[in-house]
Structure 1
């Protein structure tokens, strides 16, 4: 994977960028870090990114996740919602069937 150099401010905002061709040399300077490039990262949106300290990975500031991690998190959350709702729907269907059967039995006298 290609590497780029990122310059971080004291609050870990990205304030500088060096492309693959100069990244290795640039990373030798203070406040510069060599990281794996991310295809979603660009100079135009670099202010919405930072480098996660725990693994030296480019991540979005707002979530501290990579775009791939954000996608996986969203998919998991959606799956959890669907599973929770399907359980609720099954419970509602059972309740409606029970109520319908009770009403039918009441009107037919239980026969």
Structure 2
């Protein structure tokens, strides 16, 4: 089961940071627009389901912290001009420093 904040990326490379799995599943509408995601431990997530009825689940127990940090940096470079992603070396502080949904990109 995903733990803590959920960081999702869509097919346009936008990042969405939601408080938890339940919030993300209720908020995300179209599973075919999902590319990848992570929980707060940087464990990769898979999205399944139908439009307006998605489910997130872990794809494994191994964290992919480097992938998460790379995708976050890419999002900042593409969409948040002049801003830098959190610089925390600690993963928990890095994830906590990400702007929550509503403050970093347009709502889906």
Quickly name the TM-score band, shorter chain normalised: under 0.3
TM-score (norm 1): 0.26
TM-score (norm 2): 0.26
Structure number with the bigger relative contact order (C-alpha 8 A, sep ≥ 6) is 2
Whichever of the two has the greater Rg, that structure is: 1
